[in-house]
Amino acid sequence: MRISNFCRALKNDKGFTLVELMVVLVIIGILIAIAVPIYNKTQATAEERACQANLRILNGAVAQYQLDNDGALPSTLNNLSDYIKDVDNLECPSGGTYTIGTDGAVTCPNGHTLQGEAGDVVNSI
Ligand SMILES: [Zn+2]
């Protein structure tokens, strides 16, 4: 009995009205409009955090290089190959390669810094 009722319900060809379909589409559109910016911001934040971790490692390697070379700064990042494995392929997650200045400061091509959003210094040498 129940199966026959279910089959009869499946054969009901009334379907949805145009207004009901439009309401569903508007709700789905609103949900997408909310979700996409949140997803993009989350991805950008994750890339920035990963870049900050890379900068911390690079700054530590620069300090270690200075200790081993009587305070001399590395001229290129390739000089840090003794301290960081595969330093040639180390890139910012947002794209681009790191550069080292004459003062030993490692900079990201995308402007990421070690300072957090609240302006607190996470790590400095
Ligand atoms: Zn970066």
Q: How far, in Å, is the centroid of ligand 1 from the Cα of 117?
A: 14
- Are the C-beta atoms of 77 and 70 separated by less than 8 Å? no
110 CA to middle of ligand 1, Å? 5
pLDDT tens digits, one per residue of 98-118: 999 999 999 999 999 988 654
pLDDT tier, 1 (very low <50, low <70, confident <90, very high otherwise): low
- Rounded to whole angstroms, the Cα distance separating 73 from 85 reads 19
Which amino acid is it at 117? E
- Render pLDDT for 67-100 as a digit per residue (tens, 0 to 9): 999 999 999 999 999 999 989 889 999 999 999 9
Mention every residue, 6+ apart, whose C-beta is less than 8 A from residue 16.
24
Domain boundaries, the chain: 17-107
Q: Which residues pair with 121 in a beta bridge?
A: 115
Residues 9-61 have pLDDT tens digits of 677 778 889 999 999 999 999 999 999 999 999 999 999 999 999 999 999 99
pLDDT score, position 125: 47
